[in-house]
A and B are shown apart, each in its own frame.
With several copies, the nearest count.
Chain A
Amino acid sequence: MELIATIDQNEYQLKVEQLGDHRFRVNINGVDHEVDCMEVMEDLYSMIHHERSYDVHVHHGKKGHIETHFYDDSFHVEVVDPMQKILDQAMGGGGKGPAALEAAMPGLVQRILVKEGDEVAMDQGLLVLVAMKMENELGSPKAGVVKEIRVKEGDNVESGAVLITIE
């Protein structure tokens, strides 16, 4: 399997092969690394590579992002299939087209700060969501015009719900 990974804007070409029950060969930028990688608990890998031992917790973040937590260090790795990468580039990246403000966690809509038709700046507060005893002011994903407000004050919303769309 071939992949492109990014850490801190540095891009790496990866190739993964499984050699045995817990043996893998990972090629990084043309260099092969054979590792002994046991999944000792869900998403917790005990990795031995050239007699160096890493107890690494791998955690899926947003799409394609993998957090790797070591004993004393943590990294964000963005992993994509090369095909996906080409597709994304063909789409011209983000920034254009409509955008939706979604709830990343369930909560109560306490106040709506805009009306449909309002012009808003990037990051301008659109809505206050109460979740886990904190008020979270949600900012606009882009500059534009408020197209549709799909919730009203007092609504309980589920995670992932589209709250407001911006055009």
Chain B
Amino acid sequence: MFKKVLIANRGEIAIRVIRCLREHGIQSVAVYSDPDRDSLAVRYAHQAVHLPGNTSAETYMDIEKVLDAAKRTGCEAIHPGYGFLSEKAEFSQACRDAGIAFIGPHPESISSMGDKTTARELMIKAGVPVTPGFQNENGDRREALQAAQEMGFPVMIKASAGGGGKGMRRVDRAEDFLSNYDMAASEAKSAFGDDRIYIEKFIQNPRHIEVQIACDKHGNAIHLAERECSVQRRHQKVVEEAPSPAVTPEMRAKIGEIAIQAALAVNYDSVGTIEFLMDKDNNFFFMEMNTRLQVEHPVTEWITGVDLVRLQLQIAAGEKLPFSQDDITITGHSVECRVYAEDPEKNFMPSPGKITSLLTPSGLGVRDDSGVYPGYEVPIYYDPMISKLTTWGRDREEAILRMSRALGEYRVGGIKTNLWFHRALMQHPAWLAADLDTAFIERHPELLHKGLDEGHIEPALIAAAIKHYKTEARRGAAGPDEQTQNSSQWKAGARLAVMRYRSL
């Protein structure tokens, strides 16, 4: 096994990887941008190398700087996390050239799967069902429009190099196509350094089902069941669960086998995920492969007991899979809520700032993968996810009830979060009935309205009155310079703001 590993990432996933390294006596090296000097990752790692700059492009996505840090500190391997360099074939290649193990798949599989056209063709060849789509290689907007018209609206516009919802847009009418195309291309350029666009037929009311697979460098491959990620906002997953309530054991065996075929088609040699759309008739369509660890991997860890990061390390170190397919059993059910610094009432607008107080839930069947601590300032430069809360139960009902309980205990002061949205969701009849599709939130706008229980109006009035009273009392005691009600530097300036915010 490796003796020292660099983590080319930040936030909760850097913590996730450092935890695993710590557990196995492997030295960890964090890299950090200017705003991340005070991050948990820096604090928990054995070593920390500064990458000067604020933006991703200057820091976590700068291949040369990252490799340089790994070489100087004597790392034998690099873990890319998700996002940033994790799905850049040239980074996997650069690691190989530098004689450093990339904890992820070999570059050829990343490029094959990263390019939507190649992936499509490979999948069709391997007998995997695919959705109609068009790769706009030359950047000709008119050609893209024509392809969209041929497959029929609605269509999805996606960044070819993308993932995580960035640069992704649904277009319902031909006249909206070009403006959306431009914006997606521009976002793709800034997020991935690649403005190529992929157009895909939009499947109505699909469920998002994905299969976790793991392949070693010796030709062994297993799947670790599926996850369902149908609850999305801004085309990004916000709640996930495993197993999917819509998948029967027979379907699981079948899509597991298809997923393994898909991975073997590119000689895959790490953990990865095959994403499918499932239509109302239980047909599966290959969407894409994520050639990396997923944000939502903890739900799979809960139901299988497998440490997926440890498995990644073992595979990257050349070890054989320690499990056969028969060793993988599913126990119970797990749900994940992504906790974001954002305002669900304002179309999930990010809400960076200082976390003035923090209470995280725990107890039986609760896991919180967090990247923050009390006093930490959520920076404006990166994704606003602050933690992933997951629960486990003997069945879906117990996992959901436990999630409701855990969300109740979760308290974040100083910034807005989506915790109350998750609480409302966990009590929603359609969610409880597992009546899901990727437009779930749009179909249920009542989730975005606060105040469920009339019995709480009186205590809400009392608490607000006392808060107002205390604030005024403090204001009276303080000098004029200290009359700011919010402790965050960002918030201070925003008191007078009348900014209007609209969904894209």
Chain A interface residues toward B at CB < 8 A: 1, 3, 5, 7-8, 12, 14, 16, 18, 24, 26, 28, 33, 35-49, 51-63, 66-77, 79, 99-107, 110, 123, 125, 128, 130-141, 158-161
- Is B142 in the interface zone, CB < 8 Å from A? no
Given A53-B45, A132-B384, 13 new contacts (CB under 8 A) = A5-B461, A37-B463, A39-B470, A43-B413, A49-B462, A53-B47, A70-B459, A77-B464, A79-B465, A102-B496, A123-B500, A128-B183, A131-B352
Contact B48 A75 (CB under 8 A): no
Query: Chain B contacts of A48 at CB under 8 A?
Result: 42, 48
> Which of A1, A68, A100, A134 is in CB contact (< 8 Å) with B460?
A68
User: Nearest B residue to A158 by beta-carbon distance?
Assistant: B493
Query: Chain A contacts of B323 at CB under 8 A?
Result: none
Query: Chain B contacts of A99 at CB under 8 A?
Result: 498
Query: Chain A contacts of B48 at CB under 8 A?
Result: 48, 51-53
State in angstroms the CA–CA spacing of A135 and B499 once bound together: 15
Contact B461 A16 (CB under 8 A): no
Stretch from B309-317, B375-383, B437-445 that touches the partner: B375-383
State in angstroms the CA–CA spacing of A39 and B499 once bound together: 32
Contacts A46-B42, A70-B456, A132-B352 hold; do A139 and B404 have CB atoms under 8 A apart? no
Stretch from B109-117, B186-194, B242-250, B327-335 that touches the partner: B186-194
Query: Chain A contacts of B349 at CB under 8 A?
Result: 104-105, 136
Query: Chain B contacts of A128 at CB under 8 A?
Result: 183
- Is B204 in the interface zone, CB < 8 Å from A? no
CB distance from B448 to the nearest CB of A (A): 11
The 9 A-B residue pairs with the shortest CB-CB distance in the complex, in nearest-first order: A160-B493, A77-B464, A74-B420, A71-B408, A132-B350, A104-B499, A55-B43, A75-B460, A58-B467
Contact A1 B472 (CB under 8 A): yes
Contact B500 A139 (CB under 8 A): yes
- Is B486 in the interface zone, CB < 8 Å from A? yes
Contacts A40-B38, A41-B375 hold; do A14 and B504 have CB atoms under 8 A apart? no
Query: Chain A contacts of B124 at CB under 8 A?
Result: none
Contact B375 A40 (CB under 8 A): yes
User: Nearest B residue to A71 by beta-carbon distance?
Assistant: B408
Contact A69 B411 (CB under 8 A): yes
User: Nearest A residue to B423 by beta-carbon distance?
Assistant: A72
Query: Chain B contacts of A75 at CB under 8 A?
Result: 450-451, 456-457, 460
User: Nearest B residue to A31 by beta-carbon distance?
Assistant: B458
Query: Chain A contacts of B380 at CB under 8 A?
Result: 105-107, 131-132
State in angstroms the CA–CA spacing of A61 and B486 once bound together: 9
Chain B 401-428 interface mask (CB, 8 Å, partner A; 1/0): 0001000110101001001100100010
Query: Chain B contacts of A73 at CB under 8 A?
Result: 420, 423, 450-453, 456
Contact A40 B451 (CB under 8 A): no
- Is B431 in the interface zone, CB < 8 Å from A? no
Contact A26 B466 (CB under 8 A): yes
User: Nearest A residue to B469 by beta-carbon distance?
Assistant: A16
State in angstroms the CA–CA spacing of A3 and B462 once bound together: 11
- Is B217 in the interface zone, CB < 8 Å from A? no
State in angstroms the CA–CA spacing of A145 and B38 once bound together: 45
Contact A133 B382 (CB under 8 A): yes
Contact B381 A49 (CB under 8 A): no
Contact A77 B493 (CB under 8 A): no
Contact B460 A7 (CB under 8 A): yes
Q: List 18 A-B contacts (CB under 8 A).
A: A1-B472, A3-B468, A16-B468, A24-B469, A42-B413, A53-B30, A66-B463, A66-B464, A73-B452, A77-B461, A79-B465, A100-B498, A101-B499, A110-B186, A130-B190, A132-B350, A134-B234, A160-B492
Contact A54 B187 (CB under 8 A): no
CB distance from B69 to the nearest CB of A (A): 9
Query: Chain B contacts of A51 at CB under 8 A?
Result: 47-49, 73
User: Nearest B residue to A124 by beta-carbon distance?
Assistant: B502
- Is B166 in the interface zone, CB < 8 Å from A? yes
Contact A7 B166 (CB under 8 A): no
- Is B149 in the interface zone, CB < 8 Å from A? no
Contact B423 A139 (CB under 8 A): no
User: Nearest A residue to B349 by beta-carbon distance?
Assistant: A136
Contacts A79-B468, A107-B380 hold; do A26 and B461 have CB atoms under 8 A apart? yes
User: Nearest B residue to A75 by beta-carbon distance?
Assistant: B460
Contact A159 B461 (CB under 8 A): no
Chain B 10-30 residues near chain A, CB threshold 8 A: 22, 30
- Is B360 in the interface zone, CB < 8 Å from A? no
State in angstroms the CA–CA spacing of A43 and B186 once bound together: 41
User: Nearest A residue to B421 by beta-carbon distance?
Assistant: A74
CB distance from B453 to the nearest CB of A (A): 5
Query: Chain B contacts of A58 at CB under 8 A?
Result: 463-464, 466-467
- Is B491 in the interface zone, CB < 8 Å from A? yes
State in angstroms the CA–CA spacing of A54 and B42 once bound together: 9
User: Nearest B residue to A130 by beta-carbon distance?
Assistant: B190
Query: Chain B contacts of A35 at CB under 8 A?
Result: 462, 466
> Which of A41, A53, A107 is in CB contact (< 8 Å) with B46?
A53
**Most chain-B CB neighbours within 10 Å: which of A35, A75, A139?**
A75
> Which of B47, B408, B498 is in CB contact (< 8 Å) with A52?
B47
Contact A137 B502 (CB under 8 A): yes
Contact A53 B356 (CB under 8 A): no
User: Nearest A residue to B375 by beta-carbon distance?
Assistant: A41
Query: Chain B contacts of A39 at CB under 8 A?
Result: 470
Chain B 468-496 interface mask (CB, 8 Å, partner A; 1/0): 11111000000000000110001111111
Contact A47 B497 (CB under 8 A): no
State in angstroms the CA–CA spacing of A1 and B419 once bound together: 32
